[in-house]
Amino acid sequence: MLAGRKTLLIVTGGIAAFKAIDLIRLIKKAGGEVQPILTQSAQEFVTPLTAGTLAGNAALSELFDLTRESEIGHIELVRDADLVVVAPCTANFMAKMAHGLADDLASTAILARDKHVIVAPAMNVKMWEAAPTQRNLATLIDDGMQIVGPDDGEMACGEFGPGRMAEPDTIFAAIEDYFQATDDTLPLAGKRILVTSGATREPLDPVRYLTNASSGKQGTAIAAALRAAGADVEFITGVAEVPPPNGVNVTNITTAQDMYDAVHEALPCDVAIFCAAVSDWRPRQAGTEKIKKKGDGEAPSLEMVLNPDILKSVAALDPSERPELVIGFAAETENVIEHAKAKRERKGCDWLLANDVSAGTGTFGGDSNSIIFFDDQGHEVWPRMSKQEVGMALTDRIASALNSQK
C-alpha cells in the first residue's frame, strides 16, 4: 500500500523521539520512502546518522543548507512528499505550527506545505492540558491537520495522564489509512459516505438519562471498511465502547436531536448509513435538578415526546439533495422479518439491515451479527459473521451498486 509513497517525517525534541525510529522501520517495511527532518532539539535524542541510515535518506536539519537551498530546498521537500508526519510533536512545535512561525527547516516546511499533515503530540500532561496548548490544538484541527493521540499513561517525568505519544503502530495505521483513502483505484474512492453509530442519551435530569445497550461496534466496523475501500467517511457517533476508526471525520453527539442536526449539517453525501441506536423518545422537559424520591415512595411520572426521525427525514429529501443510497438498520426482538419489512416501507430507505437483538443472541455489545438484508427485490439472510465481516460485505454491496450506476 505504501509502495511509491513518500512521507516527510518531522521529528521534534522530546523523549518520545526514539519512537520515530520504529515508525521509520514500519514505513520502510511497507515499501514506503521516508525523508526525515530532525529539529535541533530532536538531535539530543536521535542522531541524524541513525535516522538517515534507517530511512535510506540523509536526515536534514539545516534551513540554510547552501546546496539544497540553491534548489529552494525547503519548498522542494514538501512538494516532493505525499504526506507530512510530525512525530513526536512537542508543545513548542505545536505553537509554531499554529502561529505560522518559520525559523528552522521543520517549521518552514510546515508553513510551505501543500500536503496533508498528521500530528502525533507528545508532552507532559500539564503541558497538554494547558489552555494555550488546547487553543493551538483547535487551530491545527481547523487548519485541516489530523491529530493522532496522545495516549494516557505514565510519563518519563513520573506523572500520569494524557500526553504520551501514540505508539508507532497506531501512527503507522493512520498513515496507511490516509494513503488507502487517497488511492483512486479503490472501489469507493471519491465517494462521500455518512455513517451514524453508537447510542444516544436523553437526559432525565442532570444525573440520569435514557439510553440503550448499543456498543457502537457495528457502526465502527462499517466505517472502517468504507474507509479501507477509499471512501471519505463522515462518522457521527453517540456513546460507544470502541474508539472511532482512524482516518474518518468524527462528530460526537449526545442526544437524538444532536444527531439529527449533525446529519443534516453533514449532507450532501453519496451514501448515508444509519446504524446508530437512536432513542425514539425523550422527556418533554428534562429536570434542571436531580429528581428526588417522593415521601410516599411513589415513582415520578414522565411525559415523553417523540424524537425526530433521522432516517425518514433523509430518505424523504428532494432527489437533488437525497443520497443515492439511504441505508437503515432495524434492531428487533421478535417477528424480525415482518417488522423490518414494514420499517423499510415506512421510512422510505433503499436498503435495510435487520438483526435480532433479543436476549441470548449476543448481538448488542457482541462481536458478531446476524443480518437479514432488505431491498426492492425482497430479503436475504446472511450467515452469522463478525461485525467486521458485516462491514466488508455491506461495503462490497455499496461499491457494486454505485459502480453499476456509472
Question: What is the set of active-site residues?
Answer: 157
Distance CA 170, CA 147 (A): 12
The reply, when asked if residue 343 is annotated as ligand binding, is yes
Residues 325, 402 contacting (CB under 8 angstroms): yes
The reply, when asked if residue 203 is annotated as ligand binding, is no
Count of residues in the chain: 406
- Burial tier of 128 (Cβ tally within 10 Å: 0-12, 13-18, 19+): buried
The reply, when asked if residue 280 is annotated as ligand binding, is yes
Segment (H or E) for 389: helix 387-404
Distance CA 357, CA 362 (A): 7
Distance CA 186, CA 76 (A): 29
- List the grid coordinates of 262: 449533525
| Residue 83: CB atoms within 10 Å | 22
The reply, when asked if residue 374 is annotated as ligand binding, is no
Distance CA 60, CA 354 (A): 55
The reply, when asked if residue 18 is annotated as ligand binding, is no
The upper half-sphere exposure of residue 278, i.e. CA atoms within 13 Å in the direction of its Cβ, equals 26
Amino acid in position 197 = S
The reply, when asked if residue 309 is annotated as ligand binding, is yes
The reply, when asked if residue 308 is annotated as ligand binding, is yes
**Residue located via cell numbers 419489512:** 341
The reply, when asked if residue 373 is annotated as ligand binding, is no
The reply, when asked if residue 93 is annotated as ligand binding, is no
Extract the annotated binding site for CTP.
Answer: 280, 290, 308-311, 329, 343, 347
Provide the annotated binding site: 280, 290, 308-311, 329, 343, 347
